[in-house]
Amino acid sequence: MRIIFERVAGLDVHKRTVTATRMRVSEASQLEWETKTFGTTTPELLMLHDWLQAWGCSHVAMESTGDYWKPVFNLLEGSFEVWLVNARHVAQVPGRKTDAKDSEWLAELMLHGMLKASFIPPKPQRALRDLTRYRTTLVQERVRLINRVQKLLEGANIKLASVVTDITGVSARAMLEALGAGQDDARLMAELARGRLRHKLPELEKALTGLVEPHHRFLLSQQLAHIDFLDEQVSTISAEIARRMEEMSQPPARPTSEPPRQEVTVELNSDQAEPGLTWSEAAVLLDTIPGIDRKTAEVMLAEMGLDMRQFPTDKHLAAWAGLAPGNYQSGGRRYSGRIRQGNRALKSIMVQAAWAASRTKDTFLKARFHRLAARRGKKRALVALAHSMLVSAWHMLTQRQPYQELGGDFFDQRKKEVKVSYLIRRLEKLTGASVTLEMQSASA
């Protein structure tokens, strides 16, 4: 096979060891390789760096095994072109498998250019991704804790959730704090209700009458304090995410030793590229999509990045996120269309945004959801809606345009005559009578 890169390396990465094979084509057109095992501490990885540099390796390939590849990538990315590859794409013929053979196989595939690199964002985006993923974890923990509070209340015969929509709301929270502080009078706790909830005072008094033991009050106080702590953590991380996005939106600072440049006026031709989007501007654009708020936009940008040139088409982005239909065809027959795993963080947030968009009023996304849910079910409709929203995001970031709402009647107006004809035939079939339409004048 044709040789694409003449000096490469393959790494088989584990928790404690890295088995490396460096491979090169000699001046006599002979293939040479060496294999050596290193530890995964920073000094040992620096030795690996020097060992690869001694042969002048240009490309390094390694499998994406958990998080163990990250320390290796951090130390090698500045000196080599490091490719992170999918382990399922480079599996050998089963039989003889060792760490040395795995590293040799990776190096040989890289030598012939038969690998496909995964998308690894730059360092600022990776830091933003860590922050958004940790915030998502805290929000999920908060939801689990609220469920524990609900379970505790049920065990104490308190049916507050049967009357109020959100037990963490202002009124419900005041009642729970009073309950945890030792209050026994259900009427006094019901009087803490505010706004429209005061119309339900009798129901609240019944719901707050229960069999509350001392350990119930203690656990309730601890859980409420934990919820407050998580709220504070989420708020702090959100502020840090906003600060970093604003910092990433600023142009790079000029070195202090660099002399000031003279101002030169240059007329841009129409075919020259315009300045790219900033992170803050991209978040504002994505916020115009129904169902997507600022936090969702931050997660989307942290996962897929700002530059859409890394995804040649919207289909590439949807497939990378795991929202495109699967492709399994053999013998002229199409089998399972199940979606792939993809980027779980991006897929999860897009499905959540799709659920929010399906509840908006008079929007194209809501109409599309109900149109698909009637035929395919709600779960498949949500995935299809998330796919449509992600495709819209790709075009918005590529063309630097906000979301264009098509309206809730888009599908009816697109083929209006066909829809009217169908409804007339349906009405005639149900009534057995002939139906004639009479158009009203515009003044009517």
Q: Are strands 329-330 and 333-334 parallel, antiparallel or unpaired?
A: antiparallel
pLDDT interval class at 271 (50, 70, 90): very low
pLDDT at 269 over 50: no
* Sheet strands (E) in 199-240: none
pLDDT at 265 over 50: no
Name the H helices within 2-41: none
CATH 3.30.420.10 fits 7-111, yes or no: yes
What integer pLDDT is reported at residue 257 of this predicted model? 55
Tokens of 165: 């929509």
Task: List CB contacts of 267: < 8 A, sequence separation 6 or more.
Answer: none
- Tens of pLDDT, residue by residue over 387-403, are 999 999 999 999 999 99
Tokens of 316: 């590439």
What integer pLDDT is reported at residue 94 of this predicted model? 63
- Tens of pLDDT, residue by residue over 185-228, are 999 999 999 999 999 999 999 999 999 999 999 999 999 999 99
CATH code for the domain defined by 126-246 = 1.10.287
Task: List CB contacts of 205: < 8 A, sequence separation 6 or more.
Answer: 186, 187, 190
| Of 158, 273, 140, 136, the residue nearest 208 (C-alpha) | 158
Task: Kindly tell me the number of DSSP H helices and DSSP E strands found in the chain.
Answer: 16, 7
For the chain, domain boundaries: 7-111, 126-246, 279-325+340-399
pTM of the model: 0.85
Cβ burial of 231 (10 Å; 0-12, 13-18, 19+) is middle
Q: Is 126 helix (H, G, I), strand (E, B) or coil?
A: helix
Q: Is 437 helix (H, G, I), strand (E, B) or coil?
A: coil
